[in-house]
Structure 1
Amino acid sequence: MWYVIQTIGGREQHALNLIAKLVDTVVIQELFIPRCEIMKRIGGVWVKRADVMLPGYVFVVTDDPAKLESELRKNVPLFTKILRNNDTFAPLDKEEIAFINAFAKPGTRVVELSIGVIEGDKVVILNGPLLGQTGHIKKIDRHKRLAYLNMTIMGRQKAIKLGLEIVRKQT
């Protein structure tokens, strides 16, 4: 089952490193932070970089969330908490897992940059993970080269950003 560990925003990689180092590896099958490739302007030059897709969250695949929670409390000196519904651990449902798997490649868990064009008032994705997913796009920021999508995680809507390079606009 997939679970979400909440941690301090901006400290996801540090939390992941501590968990990987200090928690019994038998408990964890996979530990990752979903990332997305985005274009960032640094010093006047556009540079491709991987950014955290869901700030404040680390994902874990485990069959024993109670033991994992115990190990987190005992061994990890950083705020880490498995998300729950009331008093029970809340795994991600199949749709949420499918959404993440549809965009982020297993192994790297990085959503690649998509390439698209604007034809009239429509966005046409030429390649990348957003190909065939234009119905999920809620907003496009051409200047920052981002597409915003809504994702349901733990029963709540969460806005996520993915990299989208618009190579041309036709009227």
Structure 2
Amino acid sequence: MALYVIQVVGGKEQHVCDLVNKLLSESIKECFIPRREVMRRVEGSWISIRETLFPGYLFVETDNIQHVMERLARIPAFTRLLGVSDEKVIPLSQDEVAWLTALMKPLDKVVEMSVGVIEGDQVIVTDGPLKGHEALISKIDRHKRLAFLDMRMFGRTKTIKVGLEIVRKHA
């Protein structure tokens, strides 16, 4: 089984993922949308919400990508497999898959909130999926409780946001 990426119209990820799961159930293991858990301020208090990690993209696990390509053309929505070159579709690399599986919970495909502290100019993650992956963090927005990660995905470097709450800062 390999993991492939399908580009869709932003905001339509769940609708298209449902169609793919329904119409291609015999040739895929699963179609999913990676999500992130972040904190948002609503009416003065912080609540946890889930957002799409890669807006406009679905992930599909299959060992029969040729059949998936043929069936995607019949789905009444914009779908485009990434990594298509000379009629050959390239799956995500082992590094990209390892990166995703290290951060996401396997069942619900969510990158949960992480918790950390700042010691001097160094971030130390004490709990959550970013624990042990501090080197991936390129920037932090403490007010919005977000960490920005630079990673290789889809053949280029992408900056993605995940939830990180800094509970303490020591100078």
2:59 counterpart of 1:95: no
Distance (Å, rounded) in 2 between the aligned partners of 1:10 and 1:27: 25
Q: State the Cα deviation string for residues 121-140 of structure 1 (Å, max 9, x = none).
A: 11111110111111110000
Distance (Å, rounded) in 1 between the aligned partners of 2:18 and 2:37: 21
Aligned to 2:59: 59
Q: How big is the shift at 1:64?
A: 1.2
Q: State the Cα deviation string for residues 30-86 of structure 1 (Å, max 9, x = none).
A: 211111110011222211011111111100001111211211111x21111111242
Distance (Å, rounded) in 1 between the aligned partners of 2:104 and 2:71: 28
Alignment partner of 1:118: what SS? strand
Q: How big is the shift at 1:162?
A: 0.6
Which moves more between the two structures, 128-137 or 43-52?
A: 43-52
Alignment partner of 1:41: what SS? strand
Aligned to 1:136: 136
Aligned to 2:76: 77
Alignment partner of 1:55: what SS? coil
Amino acid of the residue matched to residue 131 of structure 1? K
Distance (Å, rounded) in 2 between the aligned partners of 1:81 and 1:64: 16
Distance (Å, rounded) in 2 between the aligned partners of 1:67 and 1:43: 48
TM-score (norm 1): 0.94
Q: State the Cα deviation string for residues 79-111 of structure 1 (Å, max 9, x = none).
A: 111112422111011000000000002111101
Q: Is the 8 A contact 1:119 1:169 kept in 2?
A: yes
Q: Is the 8 A contact 2:147 2:163 kept in 1?
A: yes
Q: Is the 8 A contact 1:3 1:82 kept in 2?
A: yes
Q: Is the 8 A contact 2:21 2:30 kept in 1?
A: no
- Which stretches of structure 1, 4 residues or longer, exceed 4 Å deviation after superposition? none
Alignment partner of 2:149: what SS? strand
Q: State the Cα deviation string for residues 130-166 of structure 1 (Å, max 9, x = none).
A: 1111111000000110000012113211111110011
Identity over aligned pairs, percent: 48
CA RMSD of aligned residues (A): 1.1
Distance (Å, rounded) in 1 between the aligned partners of 2:24 and 2:164: 38
Distance (Å, rounded) in 2 between the aligned partners of 1:15 and 1:63: 20
Alignment partner of 2:55: what SS? coil
Alignment partner of 2:96: what SS? helix
Distance (Å, rounded) in 1 between the aligned partners of 2:144 and 2:9: 25
Q: How does 1:20-169 map to 2 (within 5 A)?
A: 20-21=21-22, 23-74=23-74, 76-87=75-86, 88-169=88-169
Q: Is the 8 A contact 1:27 1:67 kept in 2?
A: yes
Distance (Å, rounded) in 2 between the aligned partners of 1:42 and 1:5: 33
Alignment partner of 1:79: what SS? coil
Alignment partner of 2:70: what SS? helix
Q: Is the 8 A contact 1:90 1:154 kept in 2?
A: no
